[in-house]
Structure formats: structure tokens, C-alpha cells
């Protein structure tokens, strides 16, 4: 089985480290982490992920700006993006089915089972 590649972008090193460890522990994912929004585009070009997990609130370049740049890049535009955010509560995303502006949003802290379900829904099992 080929592992799916996940790029995790979050300015909190502890968050990216935890997500990498937990996702790779499933044996289904190869995870690369990036802690600066400005470096996320380069990382996406190099790694060619199957999905990007992206924090919204980051210094320098916000998650929505990173997402816009990914979507503008012809080689990256088809990669699904899932936002992780502490500023959006789970209850706020439920009326829209977890989608805001066409992107899936997961509220932090996110349960690993919920995250994996979301990833599998985007990538197809």
C-alpha cells in the first residue's frame, strides 16, 4: 500500500510534531511538517502532498493566503486543503458541514479519529 503524503503547516512546533507522530503511527501516511507559512509553498512544491493540513492563524503569512497561493499554482491547485483552527469552534462549522469558503475546517483541538476520517473523506480510502 502506498502511503498518502500529508503536509502539515502550523506555526506551533508542538502541534506539527504531534500530528506527524500520530498520523505516521497509523502506517498510512508520510508526513512533512512546516512551521512557517512563507515556506509552505516551497514545501508543497517539493513534497507534492496528497493533502495539506493548514493552520489559519500564523505570523507573516496567514493560512488563507497560503491556501490562495497553493490554489493559484497549476502544479498544486488540485491538492485538497483542510484548515485547522483554534479560532473556529466545532459548533460553528456544523451548520455548514465543516466547510467555510469551500474549504473544510476542523476546530482545534481535533481528535485524531476525526482528523483521519476527514483525511480519508478527502483522499478516498
Q: Are strands 29-34 and 4-9 parallel, antiparallel or unpaired?
A: parallel
| Structure-model confidence comparison of residues 64 and 100, the more confident one | 64
Please choose, from the candidates 104, 120, 95, 19, the residue with its C-alpha nearest in 3D space to the C-alpha of residue 67: 104
Cell digits for 91? 459548533
> Rounded to whole angstroms, what are the CA distances from 109 to 15, 56, 85, 113?
10, 13, 8, 12
**Extended beta strands in the chain, E state:** 4-9, 29-34, 51-55, 81-85, 99-100, 103-107
Q: How far is it, in rounded angstroms, from Cα 65 to Cα 67?
A: 5
Condensed to tens digits (0 to 9), the pLDDT of residues 85-111 reads: 876 554 544 444 455 567 888 888 889
Q: What is the pLDDT of residue 105?
A: 83
Centroid of chain to Cα 13: 14
Domains of the chain, first to last: 4-123 (3.40.50.2300)
Centroid of chain to Cα 30: 13
Q: How far is it, in rounded angstroms, from Cα 34 to Cα 19?
A: 12
Condensed to tens digits (0 to 9), the pLDDT of residues 7-59 reads: 999 999 999 999 999 999 999 999 999 999 999 999 999 999 999 999 988 88
Q: How far is it, in rounded angstroms, from Cα 67 to Cα 29?
A: 21
The residue count of the chain comes to 125
Amino acid at each position: 500500500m502506498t502511503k498518502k503524503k500529508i503536509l502539515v503547516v502550523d506555526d506551533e512546533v508542538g502541534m506539527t510534531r504531534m500530528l506527524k507522530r500520530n498520523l505516521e503511527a497509523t502506517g498510512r501516511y508520510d508526513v512533512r511538517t512546516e512551521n512557517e507559512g512563507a515556506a509552505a509553498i516551497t514545501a508543497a512544491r517539493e513534497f507534492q502532498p496528497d493533502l495539506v493540513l493548514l493552520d489559519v492563524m500564523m505570523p507573516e503569512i496567514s493560512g488563507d493566503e497560503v491556501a490562495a497561493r497553493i490554489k493559484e499554482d497549476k502544479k498544486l491547485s488540485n491538492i485538497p486543503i483542510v484548515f485547522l483552527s483554534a479560532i473556529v469552534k466545532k459548533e460553528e462549522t456544523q451548520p455548514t458541514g465543516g466547510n467555510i469558503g469551500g474549504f473544510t475546517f476542523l476546530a482545534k483541538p481535533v481528535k485524531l479519529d476525526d482528523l483521519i476520517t476527514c483525511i480519508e473523506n478527502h483522499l478516498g480510502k
